[in-house]
Amino acid sequence: MNKPLLYLIGGSICILALTLIGILIYDGNVHEEEVIRLPNDMGSYHNSGYFKIDPRTILMSLETGNSDVFMPLIGDPQKIPEISNLSIYWTQSDFFRIAKALGLIAWGDPMDLKDWSVYYIYFDCECGDPIGLYSAYITYFKPVGNSYITRLIAIEPYFGWVWWGDGLSYSQPILRKWTSIDLAGAKITADDALQLANRDIKANFQVADNKCGVMMSSSRFDPKNWQLKIYFGPDYTVLYKVNLFTGAIIRKTK
């Protein structure tokens, strides 16, 4: 092989290596931007607002076509006391029905999963019977040009408020694109995952009063699984992974 050809091959390899290093550095900086301003953190959004809701009637109102369910919230939402004599056992679809109605009020946008992807979703709930979810935080994203734009919806029925936030954008990575949680195609909803974990808990653990706290989420970093952190007390936690598509369970005692 002659020297000019060797120089050409060597130069091409150097250019490719430098290009790859540049891409990795760029993607690293973009990831750092995402970590500094977490899309699933309410504090990251300066463009935001609260509405008051009546958790006792909102689902029935929406089911009958009445979308006039959001009222101006006066005062500090963080000082609103928890509503007493209320038991919330909602489903994933219940929370998305509220998110759709809120999206229409806040943005004139129903936040359809055909148009928006889910970056992160979080539920508070508890094991035991009856099964249900009682608060939700949903972070959406959409590619626009070379960026992602995000929106966050929080629903806290026990405190009678909902919250929306928008106005954030993030540069798109070149290699490590954001991966959405395929809730539309998933076979296992959050309430299904809670049911599956609850059965395993009943079969393998003794729980005082048949109750324990549950924090459940899925995110773009592990979009094929529901992550459940189950608290039996201050010193005992059980972690579950439930596959969104098969229902397969992995349990880890901590």
Domain co-membership, 49 together with 30? no
Total domain count, the chain: 2
Q: Which domain holds residue 70?
A: 37-253
- pLDDT, one tens digit per residue, over 114-170 is 999 999 999 999 888 788 899 999 999 999 998 899 999 999 999 999 999 999 988
Task: Say yes or no: 13 and 56 in one domain.
Answer: no
Largest CA distance in the chain: 86
Strand (E) or helix (H) holding 164: strand 161-171
Higher pLDDT, 234 or 39: 39
pLDDT tens string 183-234? 999 999 999 999 999 999 888 887 766 678 899 999 999 999 999 999 887 6
15 and 126 in a single domain? The answer is no
Indicate whether 59 and 20 sit together in one domain: no
Q: What is the pLDDT of residues 67-82, one digit of tens each?
A: 899 999 988 888 888 9
Same structural domain for residues 119 and 20?
A: no
Q: Are residues 165 and 194 in the same domain?
A: yes
Does the pLDDT value for residue 91 go beyond 90? yes
Radius of gyration over every alpha carbon of the chain, rounded to an integer in angstroms: 22
Residues 12 and 128 in one domain: no
Of 3-17, 25-39, 94-108, 209-223, minimum mean pLDDT range: 3-17
Residues 164 and 239 in one domain: yes
Same domain, 94 and 218: yes
Do 182 and 95 belong to one domain? Answer: yes
At 19, the pLDDT band (50, 70, 90 cuts) reads very low
Both 65 and 164 in one domain: the answer is yes
177 and 230 together in one domain: yes
Residue 22 parent element (H or E): helix 3-36
For residue 178, give Cα distances in angstroms to 30, 118, 138, 168, 241.
Answer: 11, 10, 16, 15, 21
Buried b (16+ CB within 10 A) or exposed e, 87-110: ebebbbebbbbbbbbbbebbeeee
Beta strands in 201-235 (DSSP E): 212-219, 225-233
- Which pLDDT belongs to residue 1? 52
Instruction: Identify the pLDDT of residue 232.
Output: 80
| pLDDT per position as a tens digit, 162-189 | 999 999 988 887 667 899 999 999 999 9
What one-character DSSP code corresponds to residue 174?
Answer: S
